[in-house]
Chain A
């Protein structure tokens, strides 16, 4: 294996109506999603619904199911409360999750595609917010961050398909130190210490202060570093979906690429039992916060055996192991790209932080913050610095400080504009997201429901619903479904041909 596997990113965005702060955020989110729905499906009669038939948020990957009444009501994601819920022509899901607009990117097969369709999501949200602002007459702004600095946090989740046969404890053992230290390059930076920012200061990570457990099922309270939700969205006998809730939202597509790629490599090594070292951290939860507070790399993490080691050193050990692991494998260009980038970033963290401005989000953000502190003589409690922290993640291209810094950076853009435009309108071609996106694009008015593993069609209100299952994440791509989309068909003809096509495949 390599950096290639089924993966995807879900982002809950911050949302605000700065001129009308009293508006219920759920209403704001609905306005944003509905505005985009009207834009891409102008003739739609009925709202699209999520198909909850296959959702099971209470399944624990460790092999048991917790009872609903014991679970936190916030985790009742399988209850449809009538909020807008879209599957997009690019295969993504765009919907209202509690009080946040959420974009769940399509299933992809590699970290470059994960970063590209994630960036497409930022553009889609930006356009949706603009449309909703025009429709409602109220400015609606969207932020790709993970905390309001006042105690609330919302997630950017990575998903990786992993082998069911690998003992889950192996993932816990080797991913925990990797995740605790990954923020030294993957963190997006934050002004404020503690969940409610009661202490002034800067830290590397948006999310670090919101993790309170090592392993667990929760995502909204008592958040664990390793999440155990077991909902493979694929054959449960072969696969798990590793649901990673510990990361920051990244404005830098380069870092999104590295984050997904390096993590995928570590997963491959775990599946192949290729890791012969172990960093048994004495207190991973505390260390995550300590690493986040150390922007000069003076901190050493305590191991259970009494020794200590720096975050960069731990990352270096994982990188070296990944390089050795790949040395015995057939060469793969994208894996090489991930390894090179990982190495360059770690080296620059030690010797040349300046070269990471415009790439590593927390370094970029801190450079802006430090420059203002110096010029205007500001303390960390100053609201101007908090405003810069927030506005770094503003997804409006003309307002977002991350974009401004990227434009001024000498590093070339990771993706060209035509690539991004393509990913806004088109699905990846090598997963089931292809057939989902194409069906939504060509027959959207007949798609009344969808999930990652299904599409539900209805031609007219008096006809029965037809549910088509898509259990294989790697199936139903452009090659497999070529004849299905080669010529335009009437919706009814498409659905019957689709069903026949799937029967033939199984």
Chain B
């Protein structure tokens, strides 16, 4: 399988601190990605079409 390297997208640091930034954040500089190009078509076919609406609509109450 081929591996592709790329610069990881810079984290969005604009959000307010919600208590978790005090720990060490170690996001990878380079990422090796297994080639799943053939599978992405299958995922595209089932992925929720309006991701923005889908994500904002998924609101849960806390549990245990």
Which residues of A141-156 have CB atoms within 8 Å of chain B's CB atoms?
Answer: 143, 147-155
Known contacts A16-B58, A371-B36; A193/B20 CB under 8 A? yes
Which one of B9, B39, B58 contacts A378 once the chains associate, using CB atoms below 8 Å? B9
Contacts of A149 in B (CB 8 A): 55, 58
A-B CB pair tally, cutoff 8 Å: 181
Q: Which residue of B lies closest to A389 (CB)?
A: B55
B9 neighbours in A (Cβ, 8 Å): 373, 378-380
Within 8 A of B (CB), among A280-302: 286, 289-290, 293-296, 298-299
A148 vs B8: C-alpha distance when bound (angstroms)? 24
Measured CB to CB, the closest approach of chain B to A150, in angstroms, equals 6
Task: Say whether, besides A299-B26, A374-B6, A404-B42, A354 and B12 are in contact (CB < 8 Å).
Answer: no
Instruction: Check if A290 sits within 8 Å of B23, measured CB to CB.
Output: yes
Smallest CB separation, A445 vs chain B (Å): 31
Which residues on the B side are within 8 Å of A153 (C-beta)?
A: 62-63
**Size class of the contact patch on chain A:** 35 or more
Bitwise, B7-42 to A at CB < 8 A (1) or not (0) is 011111101111111111111100111101101101
Query: CB-nearest residue of chain B relative to A295?
Result: B28
- Which of B19, B34, B42 lies in contact with A357, CB distance below 8 A? B34
Specify which chain B residues have a CB less than 8 angstroms from the CB of A399 in the assembled complex. 46
A391-B4 contact given A196-B18, A289-B20, A293-B25, CB 8 Å threshold:
no
For residue A157, CB closer than 8 A to chain B, the reply is yes
Q: Which of A180-188, A199-207, A335-343, A461-469 contacts B (4 or more CB under 8 A)?
A: A199-207
Using CB atoms and an 8 Å cutoff, list the residues of chain B in contact with chain A. Answer: 1, 3-4, 6, 8-13, 15-28, 31-34, 36-37, 39-40, 42-43, 46-48, 51-52, 54-64
Binding site for B on A (CB under 8 A): 12, 14-16, 18, 21, 25, 74, 97-100, 143, 147-155, 157, 193-196, 198-202, 209, 219-220, 245, 286, 289-290, 293-296, 298-299, 353-354, 357, 367-368, 370-375, 378-381, 383-384, 386-388, 390-391, 398-399, 401, 404-405, 408
